[in-house]
A and B are shown apart, each in its own frame.
Chain A
Amino acid sequence: MFGYVRPHRDELRMREYDRYHAAYCGVCRTLGREYGFFPRFLVNYDMTFLYLLLASVEAAKPNARCRCPAKLGCVKKDCVDDEALLGYVAAVDVILCRHKLLDNIQDSGFFKGLAYRLAALLISGGYRRAKKRLPDFDRITEQRLAALQALEGEQSSSIDRTADAFASILEHCADLYDDPALRRPFGQLLYHVGRFIYLVDALDDLAEDCKTGNYNPLRFRFTPEEGRLRPEDQTYLGELLEGSINLAGAALALLPLKTDSDLLENIIYLGLPAVRKAVEAGSFHQQAKI
């Protein structure tokens, strides 16, 4: 959805790089196959992570070859072939993006809102199918985002509560596993990754939100000057984000990982801190693709 959860490229081994790309292509192909042409554009790094994470406690599925419409001549590439789990992740992606778009429509002016409306319309067919597949997840996403909007409405200064509304949506993906020995670590990991996404996104948008006057929890929790946090607040927020990364890492260590343990450790221990630093420095959007 946002692309904040990604591996640290410099530290990736080639086999991890290939595996990551195969997972990315797998998510993309599944979105296209099950939810239609336009939802295919919703493929992103965060959902690739979600797939790799949820798949990590099983033996790795073999790769297939698929045509990539984004490449000239639709060349064939390796992609993960794991219909059940990829279908789940794709449905989660479509549902999250649809609700995010509705949220954006409310937050933005007429012309920008029009673009979001169009996007929401284009994925509406896919959304209906995704909702049919995961009705509980759709309901919970709607509830939590409504709670988030209520907090935004009262201009809450609690970054914990606003982040909680978003993080608990991702936490819910852990319910895929019934066994508490898996569900609890998955839940804590996803909660803190979600919290990280929300807070880093808030930090990333802070300058613009200060200009436009849109709600941003950091505006009310701290007192930014000219769209930037004061250095001591920046440090404090950085420590909170590190705290979330540590709690996510502690949860990851308790999962009986069968595949991709190095890749997942790269994402949590190297990728997330690198993203935090890039966002703090304002250089996140100049980063290279993975």
Chain B
Amino acid sequence: MRDPYEVLGVKRSDSDSEIKRAYHELVKKYHPDNYADNPLADLASEKMKEINQAYDDVVKERQASASASNSSQSANANPGYNYSYQPGSGSSHYSYYTNASSGQYPQIRAYINNGQLDAAASMLAGINERSAEWYFLAGEIAYRRGWLDEARQNYQTACSMAPGNMEYRRAMTVVGGGYTPYRQINYGGSNDLDTACNVCNTLLCLNCLCSGGGCR
């Protein structure tokens, strides 16, 4: 078990607000949205669990020491701990498919989720009738292989065949660079705490914009 302070990349002497900020930065970096459909999503979700656990531990430790010393500051010892992401909720949300799919499609989806892309691809190739879902799944396989051109073309076809399908549209947003993963390269570092919410807002707005013209 690693030291929770080390996991969060902070020092023991840092203030509660500094620790909270470091936690928010990490949440932005490893947010499930950044790893949607990414073959490494499981590693990111593990990382997220570790970060949440570490933050939990640090907050508890500080609360305990604050109440032990019985200081007047105990009232705000909890640094607004209401921002916890449910570990893994994002990735399970994304592997939850809303479509009532029939025939071999559930099996193909299971293969894709397990990373058995070759099995999924050969099964898909055996289906003659090419529905929107067929193209969507072909796109999913291509995306996980890193074949972004093929993924985009297939998603596009799926979207234009079923313009109302949110699942297809979300995939299109991910592959089309609808949002870029969080990057911490600015040396100053911003402390805009609700950027994670903005990402969601942007996504929602994008979906509104898309609704007219079949995704693009």
A-side interface residues toward B, CB under 8 Å? 158-161, 164, 167, 181, 184-185, 188, 191-192, 195, 221, 239-240, 242-244, 246-247, 249-251, 253-254, 265-266, 269-270
Contact = CB atoms under 8 A, between A and B. Distances in A.
Nearest to B179: A246
Nearest to A11: B185
A149 B78 CA distance: 62
A167 B146 contact: yes
Given A167-B146, A185-B43, A254-B44, A243 B175 contact: yes
Contact of B146 (A158, A195, A239): A195
A161 B148 CA distance: 11
Contacts of A221: 149
B127 to A, nearest CB: 21
B168 interface: no
B180 interface: yes
20 contacts: A164-B145, A164-B146, A188-B40, A188-B146, A191-B146, A195-B146, A239-B176, A239-B177, A242-B177, A244-B148, A246-B177, A246-B181, A247-B146, A249-B181, A250-B35, A250-B44, A250-B181, A253-B29, A265-B183, A270-B185
Contacts of A266: 185
B30 to A, nearest CB: 7
B185 A254 contact: no
Interface string B145-187: 1111110100000000000000000000001110011011100
Interface residues of B, number: 26
A173 B14 CA distance: 40
Contact of A181 (B35, B43, B146, B183): B43
B162 to A, nearest CB: 23
A221 B150 CA distance: 11
Interface string B9-21: 0000000000000
Given A246-B180, A253-B29, A188 B39 contact: yes
Contacts of B148: 160, 240, 243-244
B62 interface: no
A53 B11 CA distance: 27
B108 interface: no
Contacts of B185: 265-266, 269-270
B55 to A, nearest CB: 18
Interface in B92-151: 142, 145-150
A231 to B, nearest CB: 16
B49 interface: no
A239 B145 CA distance: 17
A158 B149 CA distance: 8
Contact of B40 (A164, A239, A251): A251
A181 B175 CA distance: 24
Contacts of B30: 253
A270 B187 CA distance: 13
B199 to A, nearest CB: 14
A223 B31 CA distance: 39
Contacts of A265: 183-185
B40 A184 contact: yes
A160 B177 contact: no
A160 B150 CA distance: 7
Given A240-B152, A270-B185, A247 B38 contact: yes
Nearest to B47: A254
B40 A185 contact: yes
A160 B147 contact: yes
A181 B150 CA distance: 28
B53 interface: no
Interface in B21-47: 29-30, 34-35, 38-40, 43-44, 47
A211 to B, nearest CB: 25
Contacts of A250: 34-35, 38, 40, 44, 181
B146 A244 contact: yes
A12 to B, nearest CB: 12
Contacts of A160: 142, 145, 147-150
Nearest to B174: A243
Given A195-B146, A239-B176, 6 more contacts: A164-B147, A246-B180, A246-B181, A250-B34, A250-B181, A266-B185
B95 to A, nearest CB: 17
A164 B47 CA distance: 29
Nearest to B146: A191
